[in-house]
Amino acid sequence: MAIVRDSFYINGAWVKATSSETLEVTSSGTGELYATVPVGTVEEANSAVEAAAAAFTSWSNTSAKERAEFLQRISEKLAERGDEIALTIANEVGMPMMLSKGIQAGLPTATFADNAKRAAEYVWEEEVGNSTLVREPVGVVAAITPWNYPLHQIANKVAPALAAGCTVVLKPSEVAPINAFILAEIIHEIGLPKGVFNLVTGTGPVVGEAIVAHPKTDMVSFTGSTRAGKRVMEIASQMVKRVSLELGGKSANIILADADLDKAIPDGVFKCYLNSGQTCSALTRMVVPRAQLADIEERVAAAAAGFMPSDPVEGLSLIGPLVSAAQQQRVRDYINKGVDEGATLLVGGTEMPEGLDKGFYVRPTVFSNVRNDMTIAQEEIFGPVLSIIPYDTEEEAIAIANDSNYGLAGGVWAATDEKAFEVARKIRTGQVEINGGAFNIVAPFGGYKQSGIGRELGQYGFEEFLEVKAIQHN
């Protein structure tokens, strides 16, 4: 039986949608109907913004301690429903349950807890010369989020915004929206004041653009494609609104000649294939010494063989399906493009994985002898496709890494951290991991170039939602 949602969360109440039109959410592992959600109208989007605007004065004047207590309770309730959230997102997106519990459910729980602590401990005022600098919430925030890490991306916006004293209107991805309703249920259960958080589902061109364009929206926080981010920026610019954008990536993973390949190759393949490659910071370009190409090809092929997909709910693989039929076809088109442009197909291809006759699966794929001017090296594929790009000198490797419209993430492997750090400094991206460094939930996340504007997570993500006022005195 499919899940049916027919209401939005506006001004502290569940409000029945005015339109009978619905959006279908499919189960990525089976292709079958998983849920339906209502299609919001411009009027409903406007109503949500009006509710957020009406609630702003009161909420922004609550104590930071009180806001922190609300956020901590949200975190605790998310933890209580962690298994349900993991299962929901495994169905919506296709991340296997063994990973979904820790990542898709675990990260949002941690982010709300971190921002609770941050609100309680933050230094809101400081003296600079004859000025008192006061940090204040930016206002009403329009949050527009993607489907690949749906609740994680929602938490990255909603948690710091609420902690800062902002009110929020959320439009989640229509592809994976059910997890957002779970958050709204939790927010309603803990009694967050009405209007502080609002949820309207629908399409980007209607609901998304309406909440961005509304004159009472003060800031837009958007995560998604670079193309859609440009549209958000264009609309927001008409009223000079603050915009935070976390967009695409085509991240390079440089393997230096003295790197430990026993560690570097399995890690690099995993960092490309995590969430079936549906990760904006995925290390999709493996930049390797030409002299070691044959050895690395063999190692990569062996590592990729360990990622054969299976059902995300019942299976035991580290990789599941893609999110939708459209995404599956998009990735297959890129694989065909790689073959057409002359890259060497080492592993994978466009055929369905063996034993899987339904669902949106793609074989984990590896190309070698990729030139950095090829389409598969320049465009974000958002699927389990790794490009191996050979280089002759360290300087060439760095140039390849930087030869991209994107600048979100990257990796460097070397015999020593000192050497890897030296190369990491030369890569123009918002994050670089060296020798397999782990993701840090309180480090700033965001990009250079067309990967975006602003940062999420930790102190820097929190401060995106603050204005700074200088009060001069004698």
Out of 246, 297, 433, 464, which one is annotated catalytic?
Answer: 246
- Say which residues have a Cβ less than 8 Å from residue 224's Cβ, sequence separation at least 6: 144, 145, 146, 173, 247
Is 166 considered catalytic here?
no
C-beta separation of 307 from 273 below 8 A: yes
Cα dist from 38 to 21, 23, 358, whole Å:
6, 6, 27
Beta-sheet pairing, 197-199 with 365-368: unpaired
SS3 242: strand
The number of CA neighbours under 13 Å toward the Cβ of 426 is 16
Question: 142: which strand partners?
Answer: 169, 220
- Report the C-alpha gap between 36 and 222 in whole angstroms: 23
C-beta separation of 404 from 379 below 8 A: no
Is 354 considered catalytic here?
no
Structure tokens that stand for 20 in this block: 């009978």
- Report the C-alpha gap between 85 and 79 in whole angstroms: 9
- Say which residues have a Cβ less than 8 Å from residue 387's Cβ, sequence separation at least 6: 284, 285, 286, 338, 343, 367, 370, 374, 376, 377
Structure tokens that stand for 400 in this block: 């390849």
- Report the C-alpha gap between 20 and 16 in whole angstroms: 10
- Report the C-alpha gap between 164 and 119 in whole angstroms: 7
What is the signed CA dihedral for 135, 138, 141, 145, rounded to 10 degrees?
-50
Structure tokens that stand for 378 in this block: 């320049």
Q: Which residues of 150-164 are buried (b: 16+ CB within 10 A; e: fewer)?
A: bbbbbbbbbbbbbbb
Structure tokens that stand for 118 in this block: 């941050």
Question: 60: which strand partners?
Answer: none
SS3 content of the chain, % helix, strand, coil (to 5): 40, 20, 35
Out of 166, 209, 280, 297, which one is annotated catalytic?
Answer: 280
Residues labelled as active-site residues: 246, 280
